[in-house]
Amino acid sequence: MAVSETILEMRNISKTFPGVKALDNVSFSVRRGEIHALVGENGAGKSTLMKILSGVYPHGEYEGDIVYEGEVKAFRGIADSEREGIIIIHQELALVPLLSIAENIFLGKECAKNGIIDWQETNRRTRELLERVGLDERPETKVMHLGLGKQQLVEIAKALSREVRLLILDEPTSSLNEKDSDALLELLREFRARGISSILISHKLSEVSKVADNITVLRDGRAVSTLDCSAGPVPEDRVIRDMVGRSLTDRYPPREPRIGDTMFEVRGWTVFHPIDQDRKVVDNVSFHLRRGEVLGIAGLMGAGRTELAMSLFGRSYGRYAGGEAFIAGEKVDLSTVPAAINAGLAYATEDRKSYGLVLDQTIRRNVPLANLEGVANSGVIDRHREGEVAEEYRRRINIKTPTIEQSAVNLSGGNQQKVVLSKWLFADPDILILDEPTRGIDVGAKFEIYTIIRDLAQSGKSIIVISSEMPELLGITDRLYVMNKGRFVGELPTAEATQEKIMSMIIKAGG
Amino acid sequence: MDQTITSARPEAADRTRNQHFWRANMREYGILIALVVIMAFFQFATGGILLRPVNLTNLMLQNSYIVIMAVGMLLVIVSGHIDLSVGSVLGFIGALAAVMIVQWHVNFVLAAIVCLAVGAAIGAAQGYWIAYFRIPSFIVTLAGMLVFKGLTLWLLAGQSVGPFPPTFQLIASGFLPDLFGAEGINLFSLLVGLGFAVLLLYLAIRNRRQEQRRGLVEEPFAVFTIKNALIFCAIAYMSYLMASFRGLPNVFIVMALLIAIYSFIANRTTVGRRIYAIGGNEKAAKLSGIRTERLVFLTFANMGMLAALAGLVFAARLNTATPKAGLGFELDVIAAVFIGGASMSGGVGTIVGAVVGAFIMGVMNNGMSILGIGIDYQQVIKGLVLLAAVIFDVYNKNKA
């Protein structure tokens, strides 16, 4: 087998979203029978690159060329790339839980004659495929009865049934235990021996260095380096440095923190997963927050940060299983959202569209939603006051729109975020939890939001910022907690923190 | 990229604002214009029968119970749910009223109060499962539809019960008294109608003045003038027509009050705002501190009460309670709300729109009957109108 033969070459790929350059001139190539790891921080452009490769962003929506098996390809959708043997397995598995393993594997490609399914053939081929991926289950077993590790294998078996030549795995082991992870990685090695190439996207550098032949590091939409592992594993420090190394000058407003007494304290907060009743999503978390302080919670996606925040905010996530909260030394009831708001809490969600805004309604109606009494007299809305409030926030935090009668759905991400912030500012909380406040927002709007956060803190509010962008946390917070797998695994003043320190805290805690 | 409007010239800004206004409100004016066009068409096609005082009065009476229920249904649909049981509840309450008044000789005022309370309790019982146990409203109210259809049969023992005492019949067939005794016209009714028209005009002008003072005017002046002139003339003219027959029907007053009260609740109160927010995005509403379960529960209780009121009106109008009363009414009510511009997914719709939707259906029923069009074609045409109205909505939304 010609080991050096190139199966895929992505040349000078650029992709722009409104306001954000997601990929900037990225070149990336994979050889036949190679495991190529793609690493980078959240938002570095890994998923975007893979979506371009698999045709989710069709030809014409990006610049550059995809050369696959020696030909320039113009994929118009996933069907096109699948036909060529490029198969992507997403972090959130795309299986139908109520269907059997066999039905899932052959979904859309049923072994059928004239529309009538040949079950014997289906089951025979399923058994063959399951054997190849080392899954000892009957083809008739429903997918809902399988654990995540086994489901992952079903996905891979499905890929094999479509004659995969290039397998893309997006964070395949993020929810697997060690044994399942090892089995999966072993499977990738077997595929390598048979000439199937894999692209492995992962945050777990330890396993990346175990199996990868090459590691490409993406940062801020650029390919920073490609590290060759054939001469032996590349040190993790080196990879981390490439992942995070960038300067922080002038991207954050200058701050003069005035930090007071402890305002908010949480002890032993524990939350179980809403469906998987035995899984602790937040495990015995304790922390405190001072008046005028900006506190950051760092961690990877799925660390449990959003779940912690939503659980604190009126038990809006999962099943509460213990823990107490204190505001200014007094124990407070946070068992419902109205109670939490009453206690002085606000939570601005990471998912503006699903949880933050009533998209079809105007700015004027969205802004007072968390404090309707503030624009009403004994239950009757004072429309003029309502308009004035919306207008005031439009000016004060610079929501760029011709009129407050604009529907929220028509605003850009940054302006939608400002509407969500306005809503909570009008509720006048003491403690604001901001979950990914700048996700999907362009650089200019980010700076404005940082400035709002700074001003709020200086006016005496206490703020918790959850963010997956570490430079942001380092730029705008006073103190940091590091969260991993539902637990707080470290605490440090931002002045002493570096991205390397945070990353190594996460990795030491078990990736 | 965020800057949508950079124009310095005021006319250009005005034009954009006007365009924006039209896009946002096209549906509301569209439905009113559609009603006017449909009425004009039938007035012409029936050779003027449609707007004869006696026919107009009948039109009001025939559609009153649909309008009453459409008001409640609008809130249910805006909150993102549906209520299929209203027709059966209407029949059941009519039966209950008949049994109490005719067979047990209960005082009719007391009976009416009990009936309204029972209606509210029925709505509350259904709302309880929908709001707190998250059973889909389609299923709960489908069950309710079957249950109350059955209970109606049981209560009436399969027979019609009637007639009601004349005082009870007045709910549906009474008219405002003729206090002045003028020749050929119920002057008091005319004055009430005119007073109502003047009041609406005054409120509209006052509101616009306030908006002007605060610089929040949205509606172009020409639109404002034409719209309010039209509404004023329409109400005045209809009052005149009805006054020249027997006067304003009591039911008309009840409807006008309900429309006014519920419009106010929907548009101007925190409760209304919250119902729209729930339908628009329940998760966001919940995270904004809105007690979504309680509001959905109350919305259904309210629907039950209005269905009971409609049941009383319907029974009083027929002067008897029959096991078949209310059959299929839920579909007319739901159709009226959707023709009136409400969205299946919730969060969108107005009380006035639903009422206009109900009258569009009513005028078509009435007009086609006068023209002697068979019930078969009537159904087909009504179905197509419903479909067309919703296609128009979806098309507009996609274009915007």
Q: In whole angstroms, what is the distance from residue B302 CA to residue B308 CA? A: 10
pLDDT of res. A239: 82
Q: In whole angstroms, what is the distance from residue A121 CA to residue A110 CA? A: 10
Q: In whole angstroms, what is the distance from residue A484 CA to residue B329 CA? A: 57
pLDDT of res. B178: 80
Q: Which chain A residues are within 8 Å of B283, Cβ to Cβ? A: 354-355
- DSSP character for B321? B
pLDDT in tens, A118-129: 888 899 999 999
Q: Which chain A residues are within 8 Å of B281, Cβ to Cβ? A: 354-355, 357-359
Q: In whole angstroms, what is the distance from residue A360 CA to residue A368 CA? A: 15
pLDDT above 80: residue A491: yes
pLDDT of res. B123: 97
Cβ contact B289–A338 (<8 Å): yes
Q: Which chain B residues are within 8 Å of A361, Cβ to Cβ? A: 276-277, 280, 347
Q: Which chain A residues are within 8 Å of B271, Cβ to Cβ? A: 379
Q: Which chain A residues are within 8 Å of B16, Cβ to Cβ? A: 402
Q: In whole angstroms, what is the distance from residue A232 CA to residue A227 CA? A: 11
Give the confidence band of A20 by pLDDT, cuts at 50, 70, 90.
low
**A184 vs A479, higher pLDDT:** A479
Q: Given A376, A412, A427, which is nearest B270 (Cβ)?
A: A376
Look at the block and give the residue holding tokens 């839920």.
Answer: B330
Residue of chain A with shortest Cα separation from B16:
A402
- DSSP character for A147? -
Distances (CA, A) of A492 to A55, A479, A481: 43, 6, 7
Cβ contact B216–A384 (<8 Å): yes
Q: Which chain A residues are within 8 Å of B3, Cβ to Cβ? A: 400
Cβ contact B4–A18 (<8 Å): no
Closest CA of chain A from B80, distance in Å: 13
Closest CA of chain A from B279, distance in Å: 9
Summary count for chain B: helices (H), strands (E): 15, 0
SS (H, E, C) A349-410: CCCHHHHHCCCCCEHHHHHHHHHHHHHEECCEECHHHHHHHHHHHHHHCCCCCCCCCCEHHH
**Region for residue A494 given its phi and psi (left: phi exceeds 0; alpha: psi -120 to 50; beta: otherwise):** alpha
Give the confidence band of A254 by pLDDT, cuts at 50, 70, 90.
confident
Cβ contact B284–A18 (<8 Å): no
Of the CATH numbers 3.50.50.60, 3.40.50.300, 3.40.470.10, 3.10.20.340, which one belongs to the domain with range A6-244? 3.40.50.300
A507 burial (CB, 10 Å; 0-12 / 13-18 / 19+) is middle
Residue of chain B with shortest Cα separation from A382:
B268
Task: Measure the N-to-C terminal CA separation of chain B; round to a whole number of Å.
Answer: 19
User: Above pLDDT 90, what percent of chain A?
Assistant: 45
Cβ contact A383–B288 (<8 Å): no
Q: How many residues does chain B have?
A: 400
Closest CA of chain B from A380, distance in Å: 4
pLDDT of res. A400: 82
Closest CA to A224 of A202, A243, A199, A238: A243
Q: Which chain B residues are within 8 Å of A16, Cβ to Cβ? A: none
Q: Given B210, B271, B288, which is nearest A379 (Cβ)?
A: B271
For the segment B162-188, the average pLDDT, to the nearest whole number, is 83
pLDDT of res. A53: 92
pLDDT above 80: residue B339: yes
Helices (H), A62-147: 78-83, 101-105, 119-133
Residue of chain B with shortest Cα separation from A427:
B288
Residue of chain B with shortest Cα separation from A341:
B289
Bridge partners of residue A464, in order along the sequence = A295, A433
Q: In whole angstroms, what is the distance from residue B347 CA to residue B325 CA? A: 31
Look at the block and give the residue holding tokens 């119902």.
Answer: B275
For the segment B271-294, the average pLDDT, to the nearest whole number, is 94
| Average model confidence (pLDDT) across chain A | 87
pLDDT in tens, A83-118: 899 999 887 778 888 899 999 999 888 888 888 888
Kind of pairing, strands A345-348 and A376-377?
unpaired
**Cβ contact B251:B320 at 8 Å:** no
pLDDT above 90: residue B16: no
Residue type at position B47: G
Closest CA of chain B from A396, distance in Å: 16
Cβ contact B283–A354 (<8 Å): yes
Look at the block and give the residue holding tokens 């925040």.
Answer: A309
Q: Whole-structure pTM over 0.95, yes or no?
A: no
Closest CA of chain A from B393, distance in Å: 14
Residue of chain A with shortest Cα separation from B212:
A384
Numbered residues of chain B with Cβ closer than 8 Å to any chain A Cβ: 1-5, 13, 16-17, 20, 24, 210-211, 214, 216, 218, 267-274, 276-277, 280-281, 283-291, 347-348
Cβ contact B347–A361 (<8 Å): yes
Domain range annotation of chain A: 6-244, 255-344+430-511, 359-428
Q: What is the ipTM of this complex?
A: 0.82
Cβ contact B2–A313 (<8 Å): no
Closest CA of chain B from A291, distance in Å: 23
Alpha-carbon torsion angle B288, B294, B296, B302, nearest 10: -130
SS (H, E, C) B344-394: CCCCCCCHHHHHHHHHHHHHHHHHHHHCCCCHHHHHHHHHHHHHHHHHHHH
**What's the CATH architecture for A255-344+430-511?**
3-Layer(aba) Sandwich (3.40)
**Cβ contact B313:B296 at 8 Å:** no
Give the confidence band of A200 by pLDDT, cuts at 50, 70, 90.
very high
Give the confidence band of B1 by pLDDT, cuts at 50, 70, 90.
very low
Cβ contact A361–B284 (<8 Å): no
Cβ contact A384–B273 (<8 Å): no
Q: In whole angstroms, what is the distance from residue B395 CA to residue B400 CA? A: 9
pLDDT above 50: residue B7: no
Q: Which chain A residues are within 8 Å of B216, Cβ to Cβ? A: 384, 387
Residue of chain A with shortest Cα separation from B348:
A360
Closest CA to B161 of B324, B321, B325, B323: B321
* C-alpha count within 13 angstroms, C-beta hemisphere, residue B68: 29
Q: Which chain A residues are within 8 Å of B280, Cβ to Cβ? A: 358-361
Look at the block and give the residue holding tokens 């113009």.
Answer: A74
pLDDT above 90: residue B15: no
Q: Which chain A residues are within 8 Å of B268, Cβ to Cβ? A: 380-381, 383
The SS3 assignment for A134 reads coil
Q: In whole angstroms, what is the distance from residue A273 CA to residue A281 CA? A: 6
Q: In whole angstroms, what is the distance from residue B116 CA to residue B96 CA? A: 11
**Cβ contact B176:B186 at 8 Å:** yes
Cβ contact B214–A412 (<8 Å): no
Residue of chain B with shortest Cα separation from A374:
B270
Pairs of residues, one from chain A and one from chain B, whose beta carbons lie less than 8 Å apart: 106
Give the confidence band of B14 by pLDDT, cuts at 50, 70, 90.
low
Are both A6-244 and A255-344+430-511 of the same fold?
yes
Residues whose CB falls within 8 Å of the CB of residue B240, separated by 6 or more in sequence, listed in order:
B190, B193
Q: Which chain A residues are within 8 Å of B2, Cβ to Cβ? A: 400, 412, 414-415, 445
| CA angle at A38 for the pair A32 and A39, rounded to the nearest 5° | 160
Report the run of H or E that residue A473 belongs to, with start and end.
Answer: helix A470-476
pLDDT in tens, B94-138: 999 999 999 999 999 999 999 999 999 999 999 999 999 999 999
Cβ contact A388–B214 (<8 Å): yes
pLDDT above 60: residue B3: no
pLDDT of res. B11: 58
Q: Which chain A residues are within 8 Å of B218, Cβ to Cβ? A: 405
